Amino acid sequence: MNHNNKSITGIQYHPLLESLYDEMHSRPYQVIPCPAHITHFVILSDDTEKAQQFEHLQRLFEIFGQEVPTEDKPNLQFDTPTFRVRREVHLEFSAFTFINLAVTDLLPFEQTGLTPLPDGWLESLPGMVMANFHLALQSIAADDPGLLAKAKQSFEGKRLVGSSPQKGAARVWTSFQLHSDGFGRFLIGNASMSDSQIGRLTQRVIEIETYRMLTLMALPLARDNGKDLEAMDSQLVTVTHQLACLDGFSEQGILGQLTGMAAQVEAARARTAFRYSATFAYYELVLKRLAELREDEVSGHLTMSEFITRRLTPAVNTCRSVSERLESLSTRIDRVSDMMRTKVELSIQEQNQQLLTSMDRRSRIQLMMQHTVEGLSVAAISYYSIGLIKYIIEATGTGQLPLSKPQLVGWSVPVIIGVVWFFTRRVHRRFKGMDGESKGKQ
């Protein structure tokens, strides 16, 4: 049976099958010859700005006579013999890499990756720049004693961080600072790497600097949150003391303060949760890329790993501490709020108990009054009934009865009172029985 055809009839393929295969190759490593000048931009962008960047990039394709893409993709690139442009789309940023291959081994940074761009194109690129830096790739001799002195000339006297990655196959120098042109700088010397290897090394350096800057985005936010947390911590301590004492403080006032604090904390969490989570993820990527460099120390300088972890780790720990304090404060406020609600519920139950006791006392009073009213009611009903009997007796003759009319009226009085009392008590017992049945059902 021949199974070499592209698809087999009758087998169902998942609609994401091809896209998942393509995802593994969406951002391939560059193959970069030496020498080369590279400029990299990290641009914070929302969906609208990303769409505008695509339209802006289409114009660059036209200018360089390339086939213009009609559909935006996570990775777009065009190559000419002397110039290469690459744009990658990430979750919250876009990355533009410009590679200028029309250079010779002159002094680094005399030309940059931006040199071939037409005037005005870069200035109108949508989005906010978060990181921008030049990389100069040069061929070097690993045993050249003047390498360090030559490198220092390219960094305007700034203190260098340098290392020898990949077991001495290359040299990397940087200052991790902005220079007079407003860009960061990396000088990469290729001693024995192939174009593919130097491309992978360059990509790692670019990603380290990109993710380092994105990691630090949360630090100013953490510092601001830290100040707010100090104030809210103190306020929570005060509220907790008020809850414990309740001397001169109303429960409604304390509950209002807790509700306000809870709203502040939840607003802060909603505002910062993504930023802190992104910081921790970017930090892990930085550490992973640094490990992949396999750096050795050069000339007593700090390596990139030593410099970055020494400076970046405390910043990330600050962000992590503030994030955890936000979570802790939210939990503590919830706990104090639960205590407050419990206290209010107990107070309400006590008030209800007092109310039920008062209602029971009033019920007993009403019952006593009811018995009194019942006696008056028997007397009143009997009085009117006797009056009616009297009219009936006077209207009829006594006949052979041995009693006179006044005597009949007199003897009817106790009989009528007894009958009225009997029926009144019967009605009373009936209602009392209905009340007992109702209580039994409850």
Residue 349 belongs to domain spanning: 218-353
pLDDT confidence of residue 134:
96
**CA separation for the pair 2, 7 (Å, rounded):** 11
Q: Point out the domain boundary residue: 353, 377, 399.
A: 353
222 is a domain residue: yes
Of the CA atoms within 13 Å of residue 19, those in its CB half-sphere come to: 5
**CA separation for the pair 59, 66 (Å, rounded):** 10
pLDDT confidence of residue 274:
92
pTM across the whole model: 0.74
Residue identified by tokens 């904390």 is: 265
pLDDT confidence of residue 375:
65
Structure tokens at 289: 């890329």
> How wide is the angle at C-alpha 286 spanned by C-alphas 281 and 291, nearest 5°?
125
Q: What is the pLDDT along the chain (442 residues), one digit of tens a residue?
A: 455 555 677 788 888 888 788 777 777 888 999 899 999 999 999 999 999 999 999 999 999 999 999 999 889 999 999 999 999 999 999 999 999 998 765 678 888 999 999 999 999 999 999 999 999 999 888 788 888 888 888 999 899 998 899 888 999 999 999 999 999 999 999 998 999 999 999 999 999 999 999 999 999 999 988 888 888 888 788 777 777 776 555 667 777 777 888 888 888 888 888 999 999 999 999 999 999 999 888 777 889 999 999 989 999 999 999 999 888 888 888 887 777 777 777 777 888 888 888 887 887 777 677 666 666 677 777 777 777 777 777 777 655 566 676 777 777 778 777 777 777 777 777 766 666 555 555 5
Residue identified by tokens 């802006």 is: 56
438: left (phi over 0), alpha (psi -120 to 50) or beta: alpha
Contact 26, 77 (CB under 8 A): no
pLDDT confidence of residue 214:
95
pLDDT confidence of residue 84:
95
Contact 338, 237 (CB under 8 A): no
pLDDT confidence of residue 275:
92
Same domain (yes/no): 164, 74: yes
79 is a domain residue: yes
Same domain (yes/no): 178, 269: no
316 is a domain residue: yes
Same domain (yes/no): 60, 184: yes
Same domain (yes/no): 230, 321: yes
Burial of 305 (0-12, 13-18, 19+ CB in 10 A): buried
In the chain, how many domains are there? 3
Same domain (yes/no): 67, 201: yes
Same domain (yes/no): 380, 341: no
Same domain (yes/no): 348, 409: no
14 is a domain residue: no
End-to-end Cα spacing for the chain: 79
Contact 183, 122 (CB under 8 A): no
Same domain (yes/no): 251, 199: no
pLDDT confidence of residue 318:
93
8 is a domain residue: no
Same domain (yes/no): 65, 192: yes
Same domain (yes/no): 335, 401: no
Neighbours of 285 (CB within 10 A): 16
11 is a domain residue: no
Same domain (yes/no): 41, 178: yes
pLDDT confidence of residue 1:
47
Among 278, 276, 307, 275, CA closest to 290: 307
Same domain (yes/no): 53, 197: yes
**CA separation for the pair 375, 424 (Å, rounded):** 9
442 is a domain residue: no
20 is a domain residue: no
* Spatial strand order in the sheet of 75-79: 75-79, 83-89, 93-100, 36-44, 128-139, 184-190, 170-174, 161-164, 296-297
Q: Point out the domain boundary residue: 303, 328, 353.
A: 353
Q: Point out the domain boundary residue: 308, 334, 353.
A: 353
